[in-house]
Chain A
Amino acid sequence: MSDKVTDREREARTAAGSAEALRIEAADRILARRLSPDWNEENQRELDAWLEDTAHRIAYLRLDTTWDRAGRLEAFRPFKRPVPARAPQSRRPLIFKFAAAAVAAAAILASSVYLSQPAMRTYATAVGERQTITLTDGSTISLNTNSVLKLSANANARLAVLERGEAFFQIQHDALHPFIVTAAGHRITDLGTKFIVREESDALKVTLIEGRARIETAGNAAKKRATDLTPGETVLASADTLRKTMRPVARLKNEASWQRGVLVFEDATLADAARELNRYNTQKLVIADAGVAKLKFDATIPTNGIQTFTRVAQQVFGLKIERRDGEVIVSR
């Protein structure tokens, strides 16, 4: 192992000052950030400082994007390996727990495929993370911060269960094999679409950006309600109600901006923005008084941009910022 390091050093020396040396360093930093089990705030600060240099930043972006793209290789996991080496017997209870939810969808499809082949894969993101899953049919699912999604897709059917958080679906339509998403018991059937599903504290929010989709509520047969969505429509579904709102499609792109790592606020209150940012960060923003909470602003803030937020608060509104116990308190 040690001669590997010497190799590395030799390579770095011969390439010193060149683009190649920069690439080696950038790759090391990306691997450290992506793979270190104990990556901390200080490491992040040090990385941010390094990235202030534009030459560093370019080399980093190029390789970091490559790492993200390589992440799509994961698509080969559920499909080429129906029984992954890492799914030992001990995982079965989890699968059976899921089976109840799967039964509903399987029944609709008049297929027992999920029961005979319970190859559900779980995707999870930590706070501040996001992940894109590419299916072999070209459909993609982006998983936002702090979310859990289970996915089963094979030649017969496609099914996703959003257990927590938010996901953006871009689904290739296939009339014979509809893509079904269940979340909080509600069921969304795509008819060739782009849509966002987000779990809120008291309701499920489904926003359709393109195409068509149908949503059915979780309630029992008597209470069950269903509606078709057209682009621009958002539905809030609770146990037995559906509430629909309509906005211009152009405004909706802000809802999906997290996929670019930013949040777009238009005429938002500081309270709204803080609540949204708190979904992406372990450090939590606390707005100390009601007057402050109501202040409105427009801004585009990186999902990890607690500091951008505090700068807006300080510089635009002249507010005080206090940090204590993992909380950032904003007051007059």
Chain B
Amino acid sequence: MTDTSEADRGNAGARSLEMIARADIDAWFVREVLPLEAALTQYFRHNWRDAAGVADFLQDVYLRVYEAAAKEFPTSTRSFVFTIAHNLLVDRVRRAKVIPLEAVENFEALNVPADVPGPEAHAVARDELRRLEAALEKLPPRARQAFALHHIEGLTVREIASRMSIGERGVTWHLNEGLRALAATLYGEGEKP
């Protein structure tokens, strides 16, 4: 692509750059894949004894989904994601010393949960606020306070630190904890058992 011939210039209408594709995959991933986290988590818990491994499982699924999408976007995100999740679990079952039999049977009849028609946009926006409020309530108290002070009251880290009488690194610590817990609640993974 360092060639600067006229042909290249003439072809200016049809090029794609890696970085561009990446922004598109990011947007697709956030819009279509992350909302499946609740269903994926449920699927994992039904089919795998050790529920504690759900974060690793999700990360594995997402990684494969993202990398596959970088080559080609699937026509149906949902069946694409669940096929990958299914294959991953089958691999795990095969590698595990004790094979959970019911799990294997379930796999044979893998049904991709159907797409539920979404509610209207304004209902979603209102729901979103209610969900956020509920998710905030579930945070550990200090994390909740730090989150509320920043996102609702609009305070800076320094201001939160003085309000909570802790250091700035303490604030960041609570926000870190809160952010991870909030993601888990909002995307439906829920609290760990």
Contact = CB atoms under 8 A, between A and B. Distances in A.
B20 A300 contact: yes
B152 A63 contact: no
B19 A308 contact: yes
B63 A85 contact: no
Residue with the greatest number of chain A CB neighbours at <10 A, chosen from B34, B129, B148, B179 = B179
A99 interface: no
Interface string B177-191: 001101100110000
Contacts of B124: 138
A143 B77 CA distance: 30
A138 B125 contact: yes
Nearest to B125: A138
B180 A23 contact: yes
Interface in A52-103: 54-55, 57-59, 61-63, 65-67, 69-77, 84-86
A311 interface: yes
A5 B147 contact: no
B67 A72 contact: no
A315 interface: yes
Contacts of A55: 59, 63
Given A58-B29, A170-B121, A315-B2, A69 B176 contact: no
Nearest to A140: B125
Query: Could you say which interface size class chain B belongs to?
Result: 35 or more
B20 A308 contact: yes
Contact of A260 (B27, B55, B129, B132): B27
Contact of A1 (B122, B133, B154, B169): B169
B172 A31 contact: yes
B100 interface: no
Contact of A35 (B125, B129, B133, B156): B156
Query: Could you say which interface size class chain A belongs to?
Result: 35 or more
Please classify the interface of chain B as helix (H, G, I), strand (E, B), loop, or mixed, using the class held by over half of its residues.
helix
Given A4-B169, A260-B27, A262-B23, A317 B187 contact: no
A203 B133 CA distance: 40
Interface stretch (B4-12, B38-46, B78-86, B91-99): B4-12
Given A35-B172, A62-B34, A86 B153 contact: yes
B179 A19 contact: no
Interface in A110-148: 134, 136-140
Contacts of B14: 298
A20 interface: yes
A316 B8 contact: yes
A18 B55 contact: yes
A138 B123 contact: yes
Interface in A1-35: 1, 4-5, 7-8, 18-20, 22-24, 27-28, 30-31, 35
B13 to A, nearest CB: 5
Nearest to A297: B12
Interface string B36-61: 00000000000000000001101100
Nearest to A22: B59
Interface string B120-142: 01111110110011001000000
Contacts of A75: 129
Given A5-B169, A23-B55, A71 B151 contact: yes
3 cross-chain pairs, A with B, having the tightest CB-CB distances, nearest first: A318-B4, A1-B167, A138-B122
23 contacts: A1-B167, A8-B173, A23-B55, A23-B180, A27-B179, A30-B179, A35-B157, A35-B172, A35-B175, A37-B156, A58-B66, A66-B183, A70-B151, A72-B132, A73-B136, A73-B148, A73-B151, A76-B133, A138-B122, A295-B12, A296-B12, A297-B12, A299-B17
Interface of B: 1-4, 8-9, 12-15, 17, 19-20, 23-24, 26-27, 29-30, 34, 55-56, 58-59, 62-63, 66-67, 121-126, 128-129, 132-133, 136, 147-148, 151-157, 166-167, 169-170, 172-173, 175-176, 179-180, 182-183, 186-187
